[in-house]
A and B are shown apart, each in its own frame.
Chain A
Amino acid sequence: MTTVTMSRGTFPFYLLVLVVALAFFEYGGLVAGEGALLLTLVFWTALLQGVIAAAAVADLVGARWITLLRRQILAAYPLLLVSPLLLILLVPRLDLYPWAATPGQWLNAPFFLLRNLALLLAVYGTGRLYARRSLRGDPRTPASAVIYLFAFVTSQTLVAFDWVMSLEYPWISTLFGAYFFVEALYAGLALAGILCFLLPLRQREGLAAAEVRPLRDIGLLLFGFSVLWGGLFFAQYLLLWYGNLPEEVQFIARRLESFPLRALSVFFLTANFLAPFLGLLGRRAKRSDRVVGAVAALVLTGLFAERLFFILPVAPMPVGILLVENILFFAFWLLTVHSREQLLPTATERSID
């Protein structure tokens, strides 16, 4: 059976096809609604930046789980280029933001685009440098991992404040930035968990007990991050609840008073905290690729639902277009992982950084 694979020569073409397809679904006039592209962009930016960040952290601390998954995980780095392209596509949608009518010094369209574009390109540049060094086994890998992580944290903080929080301007939460980059890291680990599940059988068969460690470690990390996520969520919620100030509480009250969003909040609380916590509590569960894969998929769905919870009240969106855009993105990521041998440098390739 022949399968579609990308090479370094054809990758820009495929990338262009993805961006044009997303633009067509968003602006092709198929259905009304304007939030699908923003949600897709926010979700996939977190996912792609987060999975590279998870690898960078693992490289930095010398974690062993990364060795078996390095090429599969780092296959996502060329996709970091999609975020700045999609941000440019978002320009006609900037009137979604309440500040667009009365621009200020920080929140105005040109500066918004400029700083976000610059940061997304910086994340791509630093991510590319880190990924290529890590794949070649370069001794300078830890230094580039630190630089990437710095760009990642700054970018995700800005995603939280600029892209999502300013939708509800003047509502503010100082924890939002930290919350978003922790979530991005959580999403990255969940994507690594899905990769563990998707690893071809021939790579999993015959693994000795010591080699099952990557799976167990990812299960452990997902378990730990579910507690961290629960803590951050609760810290934010408790302060809003206790203070009960109208300008703070309206963000949550508005979302909890209607049916779909209320149900979404219960779902993402279960998917991001309760299910991973209870599901991965047992030792055997953490070693099962099916359990880790299922929990990872649930976490990703939960994070998607949470982004929907944030964005939907401000920017209504057609469910069909939203699903098509995200399935398209997911398929493109799978294609990148599948074509990793053609796209990624090998350990023996000459340094061109």
Chain B
Amino acid sequence: MARFVCESREEFLERLRGLVDAGADPQTIHVRMPFYVPEAMQILGERPDRLRFFPLVGGIAGFGSGLALTIYSVLSWPIIVGGKPIVSLPPFLLIGYLLTILFGAVGSFAGFLLLARLPSGRGLAADGEFPERFIIIVETGEGE
């Protein structure tokens, strides 16, 4: 495993670009940054993280829950309103839509907490502390 410590953003990006140009597999490169640098993600091919699945699952669950809640409610208390059928999908879609947003947002936040290992701070500094520095770690398969 090779580790490079860079003092500035420019030096960090230059080193990172050099490593990728020299043929290092972006999958084996890990970076630690004091703040988010989008260019670094572009150089590394923007590997998607797992956070995106949380709002997707939350949204689908929300939509299903919204429909289930409304249909279950009207079937349990069947009152004809305005001559419409008991199970009338158009207004139920609104509840489904709102719960899609709610569950999607809550799912995102929960996913963020889970992936960032919050509220516990123990996992955050697993690789040591490098305040105000950019670190590039390249897995070489040797000396690990």
Q: Which of B48, B83, B90 contacts A238 (CB 8 A)?
A: B90
- Residues of the B chain whose Cβ atoms lie less than 8 Å from the Cβ of A234: 90, 93
Whether B48 pairs with A209 at a CB distance below 8 angstroms is no
State in angstroms the CA–CA spacing of A281 and B48 once bound together: 14
State in angstroms the CA–CA spacing of A151 and B56 once bound together: 39
- Residues of the A chain whose Cβ atoms lie less than 8 Å from the Cβ of B46: 209
Whether B82 pairs with A244 at a CB distance below 8 angstroms is yes
Whether A242 pairs with B91 at a CB distance below 8 angstroms is yes
State in angstroms the CA–CA spacing of A209 and B48 once bound together: 15
Question: Counting chain A CB atoms within 10 Å of each CB, which of B82, B90, B93, B94 scores highest?
Answer: B90
Nearest Cβ in chain B — how far from A234, in angstroms? 7
Interface string of A173-204 (1 = CB under 8 A from B): 00000000000000000000000000000000
Which range contains the number of A residues in contact with the other chain? 10 to 19
- Residues of the B chain whose Cβ atoms lie less than 8 Å from the Cβ of A283: 48, 52
Nearest Cβ in chain B — how far from A189, in angstroms? 23
State in angstroms the CA–CA spacing of A242 and B90 once bound together: 9
Interface string of A198-240 (1 = CB under 8 A from B): 0000000000011000000000000000000000001001100
Nearest Cβ in chain A — how far from B104, in angstroms? 12
SS of A interface (majority): helix
Q: Is B45 an interface residue (CB 8 A)?
A: yes
Whether B42 pairs with A210 at a CB distance below 8 angstroms is yes
Nearest Cβ in chain B — how far from A235, in angstroms? 10
Whether A242 pairs with B82 at a CB distance below 8 angstroms is yes
- Residues of the B chain whose Cβ atoms lie less than 8 Å from the Cβ of A242: 82, 90-91
Chain A residue with the shortest CB-CB distance to B56: A281
- Residues of the A chain whose Cβ atoms lie less than 8 Å from the Cβ of B91: 238, 242
State in angstroms the CA–CA spacing of A254 and B91 once bound together: 22
Chain B residue with the shortest CB-CB distance to A281: B56
Nearest Cβ in chain B — how far from A87, in angstroms? 37
Q: Is A171 an interface residue (CB 8 A)?
A: no
Whether A244 pairs with B83 at a CB distance below 8 angstroms is yes
Q: Which of B42, B45, B90 contacts A237 (CB 8 A)?
A: B90
- Residues of the A chain whose Cβ atoms lie less than 8 Å from the Cβ of B42: 209-210
Q: Is A241 an interface residue (CB 8 A)?
A: yes
State in angstroms the CA–CA spacing of A213 and B118 once bound together: 33
Interface residues of B in 90-104 (CB under 8 A from A): 90-91, 93-94
State in angstroms the CA–CA spacing of A242 and B94 once bound together: 13
Interface residues of B in 13-57 (CB under 8 A from A): 42, 45-46, 48, 52, 56
Nearest Cβ in chain A — how far from B122, in angstroms? 31
Interface residues of B in 44-92 (CB under 8 A from A): 45-46, 48, 52, 56, 82-83, 90-91
State in angstroms the CA–CA spacing of A238 and B92 once bound together: 11
Chain A residue with the shortest CB-CB distance to B41: A209
13 contacts between A and B (CB under 8 A): A209-B45, A209-B46, A210-B42, A234-B90, A234-B93, A237-B90, A238-B91, A238-B94, A241-B90, A242-B90, A242-B91, A244-B82, A283-B52
Q: Which 7 A-B pairs have the closest CB atoms?
A: A241-B90, A209-B42, A238-B90, A283-B48, A210-B42, A244-B82, A237-B90
State the A residues within 8 Å of B (CB): 209-210, 234, 237-238, 241-242, 244, 281, 283
State the B residues within 8 Å of A (CB): 42, 45-46, 48, 52, 56, 82-83, 90-91, 93-94
> With A209-B45, A209-B46 given, can you name 17 additional A-B contacts, CB distance below 8 Å?
A209-B42, A210-B42, A234-B90, A234-B93, A237-B90, A238-B90, A238-B91, A238-B94, A241-B90, A242-B82, A242-B90, A242-B91, A244-B82, A244-B83, A281-B56, A283-B48, A283-B52
